[in-house]
Amino acid sequence: MSKHREQQTDSQTGNLFGDLSAGESLTHTESIVFPQDDSLEKILADVKSSHTCGACKPGMPIVFGVGPEHTELMLIGEGPGIDDIKSEMPFQGQAGVLLTKMLAAINVSRSECYICNVIKCVPPGERNFSIEEIEDCRPLLLRQILAVNPRLIIAFGALAAQTLLRSKKTISDLRGSLYTLRLNDREITLAPTFNPAYLLRVAEKKREAWEDLKMVREFLNRASG
Ligand code: URA
């Protein structure tokens, strides 16, 4: 995630989704139409063969996602950075190292999570994503969520949290609470927090991220106990 891109999503949060905001609610409800027998494999094939937006074109390197096909915990970042696009894997480089440490601090191993991003590619020149591009990529992300069927999603960064909740609030306002995402027949808990790439630059926010992670741990303990 480039510095430039994340600054845009933080500073323009008031405008990101215009009138699509869900207001102050802790619940976001949405239904989507998706192909029968959908699977991560099918979604990846669609991304590779037919998905086109202002940023992603067929044939471009993409970072689709990694992890078990069905799992309790899904991690959703904003978009890949240069480190990630080289390996076609999310959260590589320093941000990835920090993410692994953050998970380890709450006794979660990275390999038990399905990890992906809202945006699957790096637009030319590493420019910011447009709202149209986010909207074009969003249905793929929602299909990924239905396929993975997590109990809990951690949304890392403003773009991830706002995209999933259809919210205009800043990540600083969204974090610190658990939300409910009602997607078709599923009810998924969503925990927004700061993106590790942002925490690398703004270390004083790590304390708040730690509070969010503790909340995630407590939720997982309750869910498994
Ligand atoms: N790398 C990713 O894959 N996603 C982010 O949001 C940041 C870095």
pLDDT surpasses 60 at 83: yes
pLDDT tens-digit map of 163-182: 999 999 999 999 999 999 99
Show me where the domains of the chain are located: 3-16+27-224
pLDDT surpasses 70 at 21: no
Q: Decide whether any atom of ligand 1 lies within 6 Å of the 80 Cβ.
A: yes
What is the Å distance from ligand 1's center to 225 Cα? 31
CA distance linking residue 28 with residue 138, whole number of Å: 15
Side-chain half-sphere CA neighbours of 142 within 13 A: 25
Domain with residues 3-16+27-224, CATH architecture: 3-Layer(aba) Sandwich (3.40)
Q: Decide whether any atom of ligand 1 lies within 6 Å of the 150 Cβ.
A: no
Q: What is the pLDDT of residue 1?
A: 43
pLDDT surpasses 80 at 125: no
Q: What is the pLDDT of residue 9?
A: 37
Q: What is the pLDDT of residue 126?
A: 66
Q: Decide whether any atom of ligand 1 lies within 6 Å of the 6 Cβ.
A: no
What is the Å distance from ligand 1's center to 117 Cα? 7
pLDDT surpasses 70 at 22: no
Rounded mean pLDDT of the chain? Answer: 87
Share of the chain above pLDDT 70, in %: 85
Q: Which atom of ligand 1 is nearest to the CA of 83?
A: 1
CA distance linking residue 78 with residue 155, whole number of Å: 8
Q: What is the pLDDT of residue 136?
A: 86
Candidate from 89, 91, 126 with most ligand 1 atoms within 8 A of CB, to mutate:
91
Q: Decide whether any atom of ligand 1 lies within 6 Å of the 77 Cβ.
A: yes
Q: What is the pLDDT of residue 12?
A: 37
Contacts of 116 (CB under 8 A, 6+ apart): 63, 64, 65, 66, 74, 75, 76, 77, 90, 141, 144
Share of the chain above pLDDT 90, in %: 69
Q: What mean pLDDT is predicted for residues 77-88?
A: 91
